[in-house]
Chains A and B, each alone.
Chain A
Amino acid sequence: SYVLTQPPSVSVAPGTTADVSCGGDDIRTKNVHWYQQKPGQAPVLVIYYDSARPSGIPGRFSGANSGNTATLTIGGVEAGDEAVYSCQVWDDDNHHWVFGGGTKLTVL
């Protein structure tokens, strides 16, 4: 089964840039989606197809995918960005969706 590996936590100061990584074997060949989940709330799509932003998501959110790592980047981090961020890909071999374990972003 395809495995996505995310760091459990990332901490940054307000106004700086946060990078959240999502590692997987040759992940560059897959389409990666990213979700933000705040405590007690359902996930919200923030990046799809590696780097596209849904309407309503600030331009501070961006994504990239190359080699064995996909990255969600949040520029000018704000307190309201504190959340768990999870990546998602389709596992072609096993015909199912896979999620990373999630990364908790803390704004210091």
Chain B
Amino acid sequence: QVQLVQSGAEVRKPGASVKVSCKASGYTFIRYDINWVRQAPGQGLEWMGWMNPNSGHTGYAQKFQGRVTMTRDTSKSTAHMELSGLRSEDTAIYYCARVTNLRGVRELDPFDIWGQGTMVTVSS
């Protein structure tokens, strides 16, 4: 079945970096954009950015510009999100999500498949 499976929980110290993986299966990986969304404890969803797995092109939320990098390994149908300069406020569950191709417009189409989430804890 179509699914996104993410890497396991991570613990980092302030100032460190973390890289989260998202492996796609059940569909052609390069045909659907991947977005990353995070959720701090008890808080709402926060969008981080998108990546086109075919071209590698990315777009990041201004809040994360300079700290986030989204990449992919097409041979493994896997997307990666790396966040650097971690601080305690980055403690959250990080989700990858696939964009549908209902209209084929990145800025319009919703997210139809989500990974299970990866808990990242930043603590000294």
Contact = CB atoms under 8 A, between A and B. Distances in A.
B53 interface: no
Given A31-B108, A45-B110, A96 B61 contact: yes
A98 B107 CA distance: 11
Most buried by A among B45, B111, B117: B45
Contacts, number: 53
B46 interface: yes
A29 interface: no
Contact of A98 (B47, B97, B112, B114): B47
Contact of B44 (A54, A96, A101): A101
A86 B44 contact: yes
A86 B100 CA distance: 18
Interface residues on B, range: 20 to 34
B112 A94 contact: no
B58 interface: no
A86 B114 contact: no
Interface in B8-37: 35, 37
A63 to B, nearest CB: 12
A92 B107 contact: yes
B110 A99 contact: no
B116 A99 contact: no
A97 B62 contact: no
A50 to B, nearest CB: 11
A102 B45 contact: yes
A99 B114 contact: no
Contacts of A99: 37, 44-47
A16 to B, nearest CB: 26
B65 to A, nearest CB: 11
